[in-house]
Structure 1
Amino acid sequence: MPTFVLFVKAELENVSEIVCPEGHAWCVDVKEAAGDEEKRGVWIDPNESTPLSGSRGEANLVLKFPDSKKESSATVVGLKAKKLTVPEQGAVYSAEAQETDKWQPLLAIDCRGLEPIGWQPRSGYTVVSEGGKRFEDIEIEDGAWCDYDDENDLSVGVDELEWEWRVHKGK
């Protein structure tokens, strides 16, 4: 069962961090691992489990591709490896990552029969300004978001949000 890790980086303007709160549901695009079928905008919720057919196991996402005989599944996992740590819930993208131009891991999922191919940062994210003001339940549409921190007289924004999925191969 391969583990895929979502890495992100972005340009932040007067933003100290982007928070994916505990219990955050993730909207992703997936494709059949052994085929070409794709499903876009499916939700993986770490707080919901669905039983797997013919098994005692459960997963956070269970689906069947049209021409497939088997179910495909994905489960949100925490990951603690030698050079990589991904929390199961409560991931944060920080300003330090931007300053060093580093990709930062946000999400790890174990997959069976499917592979993630996209990420849609829809609602549920929290942005914290450098002044400490929290902007709740934001959507980073088209890789950008902006607002105004009136408490600290700051323009705040997220721009050039990039993401990529990588297969985790290490221990």
Structure 2
Amino acid sequence: MREITLQLKAMLENVTDLRPVGGHGSASRVQKCKLCALENSIEILSSTIKSYNSEDNEKFKTIVEFECRGLEPIDFQPQAGFAAKGVESGTVFSDINLQEKDWTDYDEKAQESVEIFEVRALTFLHAASQA
């Protein structure tokens, strides 16, 4: 078993608490090897999901960990499925798409633009490895 962490680095402007959103269930991938018939899997450890906050700007921060058995992610391409909230107003922005590595919107309550940009560095780091 191998635990792998996903770290995010970005710039947040007038927005904080950036996090992946999803259901309350377990998310995983199971794949059977065609040659040896072993089942390989990746499981998201839901208890490890953390928000990326405005204080984290331009710093790497672990936002989730995976338990990997026989499979190992080598890249991460952000898509839709993120949420954040306005720093001043607390306005929730759900359905943030980071596919272009940039996102902008307008916070009506705070009367200011909100941005996430320079989502240029997403990386997997290997944590503890066990047999």
TM-score by length of 2: 0.83
> 8 Å contact 2:6–2:63 — kept in the other structure?
yes
Change (3 A) 1:118 1:66: farther
Q: 1:110 aligns with which of 32, 49, 67?
A: 67
Q: CA deviation at 1:113?
A: 1.2
Change (3 A) 1:74 1:14: same
1:125 is aligned to: 82
2:11 is aligned to: 11
Secondary structure at the aligned position of 2:100 is classed as helix
Secondary structure at the aligned position of 1:119 is classed as coil
In structure 2, runs of 5+ residues without a counterpart are: none
CA distance in 1, matches of 2:113, 2:94: 16
% identity of equivalent residues: 28
1:47 is aligned to: 25
CA distance in 2, matches of 1:67, 1:163: 32
Q: CA deviation at 1:19?
A: 2.5
Q: Deviations over 1:69-125 (max 9, x none)?
A: 4221011226xxxxxxxx434x20011111xx3211111111111111122322221
Change (3 A) 1:10 1:70: same
TM-score by length of 1: 0.65
Q: 2:44 aligns with which of 76, 90, 93?
A: 76
Aligned: 1:88 with 2:48: yes
Q: CA deviation at 1:61?
A: 1.5
CA distance in 2, matches of 1:7, 1:156: 22
Give the number of aligned pairs. 127
Change (3 A) 1:70 1:16: same
Secondary structure at the aligned position of 2:109 is classed as coil
In structure 1, runs of 5+ residues without a counterpart are: 26-45, 50-59, 79-86
Secondary structure at the aligned position of 2:55 is classed as helix
Q: CA deviation at 1:68?
A: 5.8
Secondary structure at the aligned position of 1:115 is classed as coil
Secondary structure at the aligned position of 1:96 is classed as helix
